[in-house]
Amino acid sequence: MRTVKFWTSAVPILLDYYKTYTSINVNQAITGVCLSDEECAIQYDEIHDKGAIKLKAMIDDLKGFYVKTGQVIASRQDLFPRAYTEQLSGLTDFLDPMPIEIVRQVILKELVIKNKLGNSFDEVFASFDEIPLGAASVAQVHKATLTSKFGGGVVAVKVQRPSIEPKLLGDIKNLKALSLPLRGKTPVDYWVVFNELEEQLKDEFDFIAEAQAMTSIKAHLQLDVDGTTRMEIPLEIPDPIDTLVSKRVLCMTFLEGVPLSRAKEEMEKKGIDPDGPESKLFGKNLLTALTYVFGRGILETGFFHADPHPGNIFVLDDGKIGLIDFGQVKQISKNSQLVLAKTMVALDDRSKSGKDLSVYDDTDVNLVTDLSFQLGVRLKEGAPLEVSERSER
């Protein structure tokens, strides 16, 4: 039924585009006059507007992975028409939460029964907030307090929705089937985009792997480049509670704060001017922390958090920055790190050279193009080589 609902909503959107595409081509064949890019864009504007409204209605109805896809569309103005990015910009991660009875059942099965941690839910948790802090497509998170048997600390408990893996993989299968016949007919190959999203999604169902990634990234960041000197990092990362981790439940230390997406709202509540000096200082600290953590992760350790959207970056009550949700991590080779570093240095040198950055000489193009190709950038036939430099920017 879910697949039927998807195609019932998607086919009319596709038909509108097909009719417009056919109409333009038939008109050109009859008149012998080709429309300009601007004239074609005007023809498609109305179709984009109607399609975006229909797509938003479908996502609101089906939820699941379609919400995540909608969020990707909303954040990529370079890949999707403006009508879609604007219509989907209001999508939130807070989906229909699971009833507390189901949450307790999942935890009992995963921690108490499988991990043999006692005979009841109350042996693990002294308190457990029934209203979740957040409810996304894969899981939802609750605040809880552990019993003295498990240390008595305040924790965040991430609980995976039952049978969610086949449901979401089915969703993305539908999206791939939708985008396959469009290959070569749109400026972007959306089939490749959805294949990449599918590979990323598969990583999010194993909370044991997420706990290991969280621990590993934090451990790498706490060691200096010599690999022995321990150091403080300017960003808080939760610690998993080792005995309270399974494939579908993850308990971790609780970070008290709000996501970056709500930081401005919280500042206004506290009477802080979002454009004032206090906010500017916070912005500088935020940029410093993120640059340090992601700079070292990408260019030094090669292992880094790969989903740093504003919902996963936290502003903590003590003013520090927190980073959560390590379901998406990436690892790159030493060679890729070196080539990426050389590319950044080359672009920076060119920026500092005083050259007109809109003008490319052979030296600039050859150097950055070679580095770009080493990173996997590929140009369409006939594209000017300087596009490789723009793609790096």
Question: In this predicted structure, what is the pLDDT of residue 386?
Answer: 55
Q: Quick one: average pLDDT of 151-178?
A: 92
Distance separating the N- and C-terminal Cα atoms of the chain: 44
Q: Quick one: average pLDDT of 119-143?
A: 92
Which residues lie across from 146 on neighbouring strands? Answer: 125
Give the model confidence (pLDDT) of 186-201 as tens digits.
Answer: 667 888 888 988 888 8
Question: In this predicted structure, what is the pLDDT of residue 78?
Answer: 75
pTM: 0.80
Poorest-pLDDT segment among 37-46, 214-223, 315-324, 383-392: 383-392
| CA dihedral over 357, 363, 365, 367, signed as positive or negative | negative
- pLDDT at residue 383 tops 80: no
Question: In this predicted structure, what is the pLDDT of residue 20?
Answer: 84
Integer Cα distance of 266 and 271 in angstroms:
9
- The number of residues making up the chain comes to 393
Q: Across the chain, what does the average pLDDT equal? A: 85
Q: Quick one: average pLDDT of 219-232?
A: 78
H helices within 141-276, ranges in order?
A: 164-179, 190-202, 207-221, 263-269
Q: Quick one: average pLDDT of 140-166?
A: 94
Question: In this predicted structure, what is the pLDDT of residue 42?
Answer: 79
- pLDDT at residue 102 tops 90: yes
**CA distances (Å), origin 224, targets 20, 221, 302, 321, 374:** 59, 7, 14, 20, 29
- pLDDT at residue 232 tops 50: yes
Placement of tokens 């109350």 in the chain: 122
- pLDDT at residue 215 tops 80: yes
The tokens of 72 are what?
């990707």
* Percent of the chain scoring above 90 in pLDDT: 36
393 pLDDT band (50/70/90 cuts)?
Answer: very low
Where do the structural domains in the chain lie, given as residue ranges? 2-92+165-203, 334-392
Full strand arrangement of the beta sheet holding 321-323: 257-259, 313-316, 321-323
- pLDDT at residue 303 tops 50: yes
Q: Quick one: average pLDDT of 40-61?
A: 87
Query: 165, 256 in Cβ contact below 8 A?
Result: no
Placement of tokens 């998807």 in the chain: 6
- pLDDT at residue 376 tops 90: no
Q: 27: how many CB neighbours lie within 10 A of its CB? A: 14
Question: In this predicted structure, what is the pLDDT of residue 92?
Answer: 63
Integer Cα distance of 91 and 60 in angstroms:
9
Give the model confidence (pLDDT) of 268-299 as tens digits.
Answer: 888 888 788 888 888 898 999 999 999 999 99
- pLDDT at residue 76 tops 90: no
To 5 degrees, how large is the angle CA 124–CA 127–CA 129? 120
384 pLDDT band (50/70/90 cuts)?
Answer: low
Integer Cα distance of 124 and 115 in angstroms:
12
Give the model confidence (pLDDT) of 11-35 as tens digits.
Answer: 898 888 888 888 887 877 788 777 7
Poorest-pLDDT segment among 178-182, 207-211, 290-294: 178-182
Using only C-alpha atoms, the chain has a radius of gyration, in whole angstroms, of: 24
Query: 285, 260 in Cβ contact below 8 A?
Result: no
Question: In this predicted structure, what is the pLDDT of residue 362?
Answer: 65
Integer Cα distance of 49 and 71 in angstroms:
17
To 5 degrees, how large is the angle CA 73–CA 77–CA 81? 80
The tokens of 345 are what?
């240095």
Question: In this predicted structure, what is the pLDDT of residue 360?
Answer: 59
Q: Quick one: average pLDDT of 306-317?
A: 87
Question: In this predicted structure, what is the pLDDT of residue 392?
Answer: 46
